[in-house]
Amino acid sequence: MENEKSDLTLLNRNQLNVTGVKKIKSSEPEQIVLILHDAALVICGVNLFVVAASIQTGEVSIGGLVKSLRYTGVSDKRKFSFKNMFR
């Protein structure tokens, strides 16, 4: 399995730079959802917008007032199940 990672850099709550992005799932002024290698990153705020994005390099820059960052979900690669353990 590849060792993929993502980095977040938040400057003065109004510029967020994210690496390791696979896809921009949605972009609204109050919420932007990014798909990373193992989870989704939900960015909530005011007047949010995508400044620049390169899915080839996995880099996304977001402007606007960032109020919260939240990771949701885990990819199937990382999910653990006792059912799979005893097969």
Residue 15 belongs to a domain with what CATH number? 2.60.40.2000
Q: What is the pLDDT of residue 3?
A: 64
Pairing mode, if any, of strands 40-54 and 31-36? antiparallel
Instruction: Report if residue 3 sits inside a domain.
Output: no
Instruction: Report if residue 73 sits inside a domain.
Output: yes
Number of domains present in the structure of the chain: 1
Query: Around 6, how many Cα atoms within 13 Å sit in the side-chain half-sphere?
Result: 22
Instruction: Report if residue 1 sits inside a domain.
Output: no
For residues 72-82, give the mean pLDDT.
Answer: 58
CB atoms within 10 A of CB 60: 24
Predicted confidence (pLDDT) per residue in 9-56, tens digit: 999 999 999 999 999 999 999 999 999 988 999 999 999 999 999 989
50 lies in which domain range? 8-85
